[in-house]
Structure 1
Amino acid sequence: MEPTKDTRQLNWLLAWAVVFCDIGTSVYYVPGILYGHVHDATPFFVLLTTGGFILLSLKYIEISWRNPEGGGVVTITTKAFGPMWGCLGGMLITVDYFLTTAISAVAGFQYIGSAFNAIDPQIVLLSCAGVGVLAGLNIIGIRESASVALVMACASFVVNLIVIGVAIFTMDAIQWNAVLNKLGPAHGISSYELLVGFASAWLAFSGLESISQLSPAMRFPLRRTTRRAMAAVMITMIVTSPVLTALSIGLLPEQLKATESERFISELGLIVGGLGIKLAVVLTASSLLLFASNTAIIGTYHVFLALVKGGFLPKIIAVRNGTFNTPHIAVAIATSIPVLVILLSRGEMKLLGDMYAFGLLGAFVFSSLSLDTIRWRLGRRDPVFWLGVLTTAMLVVAWGVNLIEKQLATYFGGAVTAIGMLTAVGVRRAWFVDLLLRIPIIHRLQTRAYRASEDLVEDQLKGLVTLAEAVEVKPLYSSSTLLALRDESPRLIQEGITRAKGRGDAALYCIYVEEWPGLFAGDTPHAPNEEGVRTLRAALQAGRHRNIEIIPIWAVSHNAAEAISNAAKVLDVRRFTICSAAESSRG
C-alpha cells in the first residue's frame, strides 16, 4: 500500500529522534573499540571521519526523498542496478542489522555493569537473554513509538551535553593540553595506519542509513522534512561524538582505558561530575542501546519481508503467527543469529565492532554508488555530483581496507552474504523446489495440493476457471492470445483486448498464476489471494465493455513462468503477453 498523508506522521523532530536513537548509540562504544586499534589517535580519526559523515549525510537526504516508498539501500540499488543488486544490498544491510542487534545488546549491559559490577561475569548471557526478550516482544507485537524515541533521544543528548559542559568548566590547563594534543595524528604514523584508522572510524556514524527507511512515514514536503531532520542529526552528532571521544581519551587514566574500554562515557561522567552524572549516563546509554537493538531487529525482519515479496527468500519466512499476526519466523531468524554472534564472540566489543564494519560500509558504498549512478543518468555533472563521487571513493577505500585488515569480519560478513545470495538465487529460480520435486512422494503431495486448490476455485469462485476448464471450453471460446497478469493493469488489458479483436478472436485468455510450493499441504487447498481474484475480475469487467469474452484462468504453481508457458502450450495460443502495472514482456 502506498503511504498516504494520514500515515505520514513524522515531522523533522520525530524523524531526528528515531535516527538519533540509532546513530547516537555509537558514541557509547566506538571510542573504546577504536582505542583498541589506534590508541590515543582515536579523537583525530573520529574528527577526520566527521567530514566524510557530513558528505554522506547530504547524499542520504537525496536518497530519502528520491525513494518516498522507503526501503533504503534495497530500493536505491534496485533502481540503479536492478533487483539482484538490490537483493545484494539487502544482504549487506542485514549483516549490519545482525551486528547492530548484538553489539547494542552487549554494550547496553556493559553500561549497566559499570554501575552494578556484580553482573559483569554474566554480560554474555544477559545480552543473549535481552535479545530473546526483544524477540518475544516483537512476536507478541510490541512496537516502538516515535514519541518514546523522542524522549529517549532528548534525554541522551541532554546528558551528553551535561557531561561535556561539566568537563569543559572543570578542566585545568594540563587537562586541556592533554585533550587538545589528542586531536592531532600520532607521531610517526604510516600512510597505511592512517587508512586503517580512517576506515575503522566510520563505525562512529553507524545508523545513518536509518533515515532512508523512514521516508514512508515522514511528512510532506518530503525534501524539507528530510533536510531539517538530517541537519539536526548532523549538528547533534558533531557536537557530541568527536567531543566526547576527545574528552574520554584525553581525561581517562591509561589503566582505566585499558580495562574499561566498553564504558568510556560513563567513566568519563564519574571523573568530571561524580556518581550522579555517571548513573545518568548509565541510565540513558543502556536504555538507548537496548532500544537500538530492538530497532535493528525490526529492521532485519522488514528486510526479510521485502526480500520475500521480491521473490528472493522463501515465503515461509513471511508466515504470520495465528495469535499475534506477526512474522514470527522472520523475527526468530532476526534474533537467533545475533545471539549466536554474541556467544561465539564472547561479547568482545572490539571483535563485534570489527565484524560490524563489513555490512555497514558495504551498505554505505552501495547506497552512495547507486545515487551517483542515478545522478549520472539524469545528466548531473555539477559540483554536487562530483562531491558525491568523492564520497563514494572514500567509502570504497574504507571498505576495501576493512576487507583486508579485518579478515574475520570479512569471512563472517562474506559468508552470511554469500549464503543469503545463494538462497535468493535458488528461490528466484526455484532450484530448491525443483530439487525436492524429484522425490516422487513430494511430487505427489504437491499434485494433490494443487488439485485441491483448483477444486476450491471451481466450487467457490464463480466466474473464474482453472486451466483444465479453459481447455474444455476452448472449442466454444477459442483465442490466439494469452494475457498473463500480475496485478490490475487496465491499460494493458485494453491493449490485449484490442490485439485479440484485431486478429478476429471472440475471446481473450487472461491467466493469473499464484506461486505456492504446495509441497507438504496434502489435501489442504491454497485459497486464492485477494489480489489475484481482484485482478481477474477487473479483466472480466473490462471485457464486458468491449464485447469480448474474457476467460479468467486462475492457476497455482511453484514456478509462474513455467505455468504460463504450459498454459500457452495446452491452449495452443500463438502469442502470450506477461503484464504487470509497470511493464509488459512478450513471448
Structure 2
Amino acid sequence: MAAIIKPIRPTGSNQPEPQALFGKQTKAIVVTTGMLAFISFWRASAIVLCDLASTAYYIGGIVEQACGRSAPYFILAVMLFSYAVRAVYVESCSMFTRGGVYRVVKEAMGSTLAKISVSALMFDYILTGPISGVSAGQYLVGLINELLKLAHSGIILPADFSAAFFAIAVTAYFWRQNILGIEESSGKAMRIMQVTTVMAVIMIAWCGLTIFMRGAHLPPFELKFTDDSLGWLKHFPGARTIGTLGILIAFGHSILAMSGEESLAQINREIEAPKLKNLLRTGLVIFIYSLLLTSLVSFFAVMIIPDSVRMANYGGDLIGGLAMFMVGPLWARLALRAFVVFVGFLILAGAVNTAIVGSTGVLTRVAEDGVLLDWFRHPHKKYGTNYRIVNMVAMLQIATIVLSRGDMFLLGEAYAFGVIWSFVFKTLSVLILRYKDQYHRLWRMPLNLTWFRPGGKDFPLGLTLTFAVLLATAVINLFTKQVATISGISFTLALFLIFEISEKVNGQAQHAYG
C-alpha cells in the first residue's frame, strides 16, 4: 500500500502555504505490506498436497511392479521418513525468505553445486507433468474401457497410447494457460483437496467395510524383484533378500512417494503470521494427510484386489481397480470409480500445471541470478509472461511423454532420480549451514546432541541420519534404475552446461557494458 503524506498547516496559522515556503509541495511515498494477502496454513497445505497427494494415484502400482506384494510396507516407510525430510525444509525456510534447493545449496556449497542441484531438481519437475498426465489418462481410459466392456462393445482403447495422447493434450492446455498468465489460487487448491478428502473418506470407509465383510490378510513381507528393478545389481549377492541391501533397493523404488516437498519451500513466503508456527502446522497436516491416503490405498489394493488381476489389469489404475472390487451393487461401484476418475483428473491435471509453474519459477529465479541467458526472461509482448521458459518446459514434457509412450513404470523409474538427488543436496547444505554462525534460524530439526560439541556446536544427529539415509538410497538408485541413471545424469549435465555457458555469456556482456 502506498500512502501520500502532505505537510499540514496548523489551524489558524498565519504561515504561508507549503508551496510558498518550499517552491513546490513535498511528497513522501510510504511502501508497506499492509495490503498483501497471506494465506492460512490450511490453504498452504492444500497447495502442497495438490502436488504431493497426487502420487497416491500411481505409486502403489509402480512400487509393486518393482518389488512385489510387500510394496505397501515400503511406501509406508517412505511416508514416515518424509516427516524428517519435511523438517529439513522447515529449517531452511527459517533461515531464508525462500528455502528452495538452489538458494540453500548456493549459500552452503557455492554456485557450481547449486547449478548441479537445480539441474537435478529440474529433471524432477520435467517428469512430474508427464507422469501425472499419463496417470490421469490411465484412469480415464480404464473407466472408458470398463463401460465399453459392460456395453458388450468390441472396442478397447489401447491404455498406454491413449493415456499418452491425453497427457499431451493436458500439457498443451496448461502450456497455453501459462502463456496467457494463469491465475494461481489457493482457493482452487483448497476446493480440489476438499473434493479429494471426500473421495478418500469414502474409499477408506468402503474398503474397511469390504474387509470386514469378506475378510483379508495383510500382504506378506517379502521381496520379489524383477531383473529390471535390480538393474546393474541383478547378479549381486544379497540383492534379492530381506537384508540391508534388499531393503534399501525397495526403499529406493518407493522414494518418489514423497515428491513435491519443494513446493513447501516455494509457498513459505505466502503463509500468514505467525509464519514459523503456521509452517510447522502445514508440515504436520501434509504429513498426516499423505500418510493416510497414500499408505492406506496401497495396503487396501493388495488386500482387496485379487493377485491374478491386480497388476495385469490395474497396474496404472490401482484406485480405479480398487473401486471395482468393493462390496455392493455394480452401479454403486461404477459410480465410485467415476468419482475416483473425476477427482484424479482434478488433482493430477493440477499437478501437470504445478510442474509447469514450478519449473518456470525455478528457471526464472536462476535467470535473475545471471545463470541463464537474459533472452529467456524476455516477457511476452501481449501477456507479459516468461513465455520462452514456459515453451521450453512444455516441449521437454511433451517430448518425455512421446519417448515413454505412456509407460507409467518407465516414467516412475526415471522420476525418482531428480527427487532423491535434490533431497541429498538440500539436506547436506542445511547440515553445512549449521556450522556457519551468520545463518540464524528460528527453528532447528530435532535430535541435536548438546553434550557433544565439536567446535562449540551442537551435533545435528537428526540432520546427519536423514542425510545418511538419503545418500545411501541415492547411491543404490544409481545402480538399480538404469533408465533413471542414464537419462537423469545426461539431463543434469546438459542443463548444467547450459547454466555454465549462460553465466559466462552474461558475465562478458556485463563487463562489456560496465
TM-score normalized by the length of structure 2: 0.80
Residues 80-95 of structure 1 correspond to what in structure 2 (within 5 A)? Answer: 80-95=108-123
- Which residue is equivalent to 2:472? 397
The 3 A distance-change label for structure 1 pair 6 and 84 is farther
Query: For 1:171-195, what per-residue CA distance to the aligned partner results, in whole angstroms no more than 9, with x for missing partners?
Result: 1476332xx234x345953543221
- Is this contact kept in 2: 1:372–1:388, CA < 8 A? yes
What is the CA–CA distance in structure 2 between the aligned matches of 1:74 and 1:16, rounded to whole Å?
Answer: 22
- Which residue is equivalent to 1:211? 264
Which of 456, 462, 467 matches 1:387? 462
Query: For 1:456-511, what per-residue CA distance to the aligned partner results, in whole angstroms no more than 9, with x for missing partners?
Result: xxxxxxxxxxxxxxxxxxxxxxxxxxxxxxxxxxxxxxxxxxxxxxxxxxxxxxxx
- Is this contact kept in 1: 2:431–2:460, CA < 8 A? yes
- Which residue is equivalent to 1:504? none
1:410 aligns with 2:485: yes
Query: For 1:392-419, what per-residue CA distance to the aligned partner results, in whole angstroms no more than 9, with x for missing partners?
Result: 1111111111111112111111111111
2:509 is aligned with what amino acid?
Answer: N
Where in structure 1 are there 5+ consecutive unaligned residues?
Answer: 431-514, 516-556, 565-587
- Which residue is equivalent to 2:235? none
What is the CA–CA distance in structure 2 between the aligned matches of 1:30 and 1:6, rounded to whole Å?
Answer: 41
- Which residue is equivalent to 1:181? 219
- Which residue is equivalent to 1:134? 174
Query: For 1:133-192, what per-residue CA distance to the aligned partner results, in whole angstroms no more than 9, with x for missing partners?
Result: 110111011223110100101211221121111111231476332xx234x345953543
- Is this contact kept in 2: 1:199–1:402, CA < 8 A? yes
1:112 aligns with 2:154: no
Query: For 1:436-469, what per-residue CA distance to the aligned partner results, in whole angstroms no more than 9, with x for missing partners?
Result: xxxxxxxxxxxxxxxxxxxxxxxxxxxxxxxxxx
- Is this contact kept in 1: 2:58–2:318, CA < 8 A? yes
- Which residue is equivalent to 2:82? 53
What is the CA–CA distance in structure 2 between the aligned matches of 1:174 and 1:191, rounded to whole Å?
Answer: 36
Which of 309, 312, 318 matches 1:264? 318
What is the CA–CA distance in structure 2 between the aligned matches of 1:173 and 1:398, rounded to whole Å?
Answer: 40
What is the CA–CA distance in structure 2 between the aligned matches of 1:257 and 1:190, rounded to whole Å?
Answer: 27
Which of 471, 495, 499 matches 1:424? 499
1:382 is aligned with what amino acid?
Answer: N
1:422 is aligned with what amino acid?
Answer: L
1:97 aligns with 2:141: no
Which of 329, 335, 348 matches 2:388? 329
What is the CA–CA distance in structure 2 between the aligned matches of 1:360 and 1:198, rounded to whole Å?
Answer: 13
Q: Which moved more, 1:153-162 or 1:32-41?
A: 153-162
Aligned length: 434
Q: Which moved more, 1:149-158 or 1:76-85?
A: 76-85
SS in 1 for 2:465: helix
What is the CA–CA distance in structure 1 between the aligned matches of 2:61 and 2:34, rounded to whole Å?
Answer: 43
What is the CA–CA distance in structure 1 between the aligned matches of 2:75 and 2:501, rounded to whole Å?
Answer: 41
What is the CA–CA distance in structure 2 between the aligned matches of 1:186 and 1:345, rounded to whole Å?
Answer: 27
- Which residue is equivalent to 1:372? 431
What is the CA–CA distance in structure 1 between the aligned matches of 2:493 and 2:37, rounded to whole Å?
Answer: 36
What is the CA–CA distance in structure 1 between the aligned matches of 2:124 and 2:481, rounded to whole Å?
Answer: 15
SS in 2 for 1:272: coil
Where in structure 2 are there 5+ consecutive unaligned residues?
Answer: 1-30, 146-155, 225-240, 328-332, 450-458
The 3 A distance-change label for structure 1 pair 86 and 5 is farther
The 3 A distance-change label for structure 1 pair 220 and 3 is farther
The 3 A distance-change label for structure 1 pair 161 and 221 is same
SS in 1 for 2:419: helix
What is the CA–CA distance in structure 1 between the aligned matches of 2:223 and 2:418, rounded to whole Å?
Answer: 29
2:75 is aligned with what amino acid?
Answer: V
- Which residue is equivalent to 1:72? 100
What is the CA–CA distance in structure 2 between the aligned matches of 1:306 and 1:71, rounded to whole Å?
Answer: 13
Residues 465-484 of structure 1 correspond to what in structure 2 (within 5 A)? Answer: none
- Which residue is equivalent to 1:454? none
TM-score normalized by the length of structure 1: 0.71
- Is this contact kept in 2: 1:25–1:288, CA < 8 A? yes
Residue 361 of structure 1 deviates from its aligned partner by: 0.6
What is the CA–CA distance in structure 2 between the aligned matches of 1:218 and 1:385, rounded to whole Å?
Answer: 27
1:16 aligns with 2:82: no
- Is this contact kept in 2: 1:104–1:289, CA < 8 A? yes
Residue 275 of structure 1 deviates from its aligned partner by: 1.5
Residues 341-360 of structure 1 correspond to what in structure 2 (within 5 A)? Answer: 341-360=400-419
Residues 207-286 of structure 1 correspond to what in structure 2 (within 5 A)? Answer: 207-259=260-312, 260-272=314-326, 274-286=333-345
1:158 aligns with 2:224: no
Q: Over alpha carbons, which structure has the higher Rg?
A: 1
The structure whose RCO (Cα within 8 Å, separation 6+) is larger is 2
What is the CA–CA distance in structure 2 between the aligned matches of 1:164 and 1:410, rounded to whole Å?
Answer: 36
Query: For 1:64-91, what per-residue CA distance to the aligned partner results, in whole angstroms no more than 9, with x for missing partners?
Result: 23222x2611111112112332222221
- Which residue is equivalent to 1:500? none
- Which residue is equivalent to 2:330? none
1:339 aligns with 2:398: yes
- Is this contact kept in 2: 1:65–1:215, CA < 8 A? no
SS in 2 for 1:376: coil
- Is this contact kept in 2: 1:98–1:338, CA < 8 A? yes
- Is this contact kept in 2: 1:265–1:281, CA < 8 A? yes
What is the CA–CA distance in structure 2 between the aligned matches of 1:56 and 1:308, rounded to whole Å?
Answer: 27
- Which residue is equivalent to 2:24? none
1:194 aligns with 2:222: no
- Which residue is equivalent to 1:560? 510
1:404 is aligned with what amino acid?
Answer: F
SS in 1 for 2:382: coil
Q: Which moved more, 1:249-258 or 1:134-143?
A: 249-258
SS in 2 for 1:390: helix
1:559 is aligned with what amino acid?
Answer: A
- Which residue is equivalent to 1:309? 368
Q: Which moved more, 1:418-427 or 1:264-273?
A: 264-273
Residue 4 of structure 1 deviates from its aligned partner by: 4.0
- Is this contact kept in 1: 2:211–2:304, CA < 8 A? no
- Is this contact kept in 2: 1:175–1:250, CA < 8 A? no
What CA RMSD, in Å, does the superposition of the two structures yield over aligned residues? 2.2
